[in-house]
Amino acid sequence: MVYDALVLVSFGGPERPEDVLPFLQNVTRGRGVPPERLAEVAEHYMHFGGVSPINQQCRDLLAAIREDFAANGVDLPVYWGNRNWDPMLADTVARMRDDGITRALAFVTSAYGGYSSCRQYQEDIASARAAVGPDAPLIEKLRQFWDHPGFIEPHADAVRAALAQLDPAKRDSTRLVFTAHSVPMSAAATAGPHGGRYTAQMEEAARLVHAAAAPDLAYDLVWQSRSGPPQVPWLEPDVNDHLATLPEQGVTSVVVSPIGFVSDHLEVVWDLDTEALETAKQLGLDFVRAGTPGVDPRFVAMVRELVAERTAPDGERLRRRLGELPAWDTCPAVCCVPPARRP
């Protein structure tokens, strides 16, 4: 298959104080989130001048991908469009059409399967193409990359670097805590063709990073950044609630690794670097937050490798470990569609 562009697709974020509330309204439209919760989250952004880090992180990743493509002979222009804020994906797709692009690949800044982390991006792409019209380029999403070495290895190195900041005399009482974005339990149950894909992939990614970085330490996978109505059950425990249970277990130090994320955007720098850090201080826990892949060269090279994997001739497609077919063989069709909606 021949493709003539790559588009980076991300969540988006405000870059001015006056954009914060309209952005949050875009994010939560139709989800029944109370206005007081929006106001609370808006204050988180105001602590950073009303600017989300995510757009600059996308610009940095965009530049790194272009540089990596050029250095490795990949002749594909790279575009960027967001789900919730400028540059909006529909505007980017219109520009791609005007530039003569006919068939593109999409790299989404979310590693996992699940509705909001995968299938909704498929819907965003379809909506953007519909808004542009019949001349819109075809756009196919690259596969999930939750267990790709280009994602796992930077996370593992970040955990090692975080552990190096703690008192080595307390190593035996140090706990590794992986975090990811919580989702409604109903969404977790229906993620993937057989359900449970989001949590299963997260558990395996945590296991891989733990095995590579600190196999001697105990670890947990917990959740953060719940945003839905209070009556809807979401994945638990929350990271702050979990931290509160650790001192009674003899834990003195924690490294928190945001395994669910690819960059240090607001839900990392607020929910972990601000709220979880304050919780740890109140509990008397030594606390270090591990980094995310960002523009680590291995993560950037992974994007090129995913493109090469997708564009290889059918008989020579790269197989994932254990001989399994790449996840993208099923991803576009049924990966994250709830059972009642599957064809």
Cα dist. 243→35, 137, 246 in Å?
28, 47, 5
79 is in an annotated binding site: no
Alpha-carbon gap, residue 292 to 161, rounded angstroms: 12
| Residues in Cβ contact with 164 at an 8 Å cutoff, skipping those fewer than 6 apart | none
Q: Would you give the distance in Å from CA 122 to the centre of its chain?
A: 15
210 is in an annotated binding site: no
DSSP 269: H
DSSP 147: T
Alpha-carbon gap, residue 339 to 63, rounded angstroms: 39
265 is in an annotated binding site: no
| Residues in Cβ contact with 290 at an 8 Å cutoff, skipping those fewer than 6 apart | 155, 158, 159, 161, 162, 255, 256, 257, 258
44 is in an annotated binding site: no
Per the CB < 8 A criterion, the answer to whether 222 and 234 are in contact is no
Q: Is 49 helix (H, G, I), strand (E, B) or coil?
A: coil
Per the CB < 8 A criterion, the answer to whether 46 and 17 are in contact is yes
Encode burial over 282-298: b for 16+ CB neighbours within 10 A, e otherwise.
ebebbbbbbbbbbbbeb
137 closest CA partner among 292, 236, 5: 5
Which residues are annotated binding-site positions for Fe-coproporphyrin III? 52, 121
Which residue ranges make up the annotated binding site for Fe(2+)?
A: 181, 267
Annotated binding site: 52, 121, 181, 267
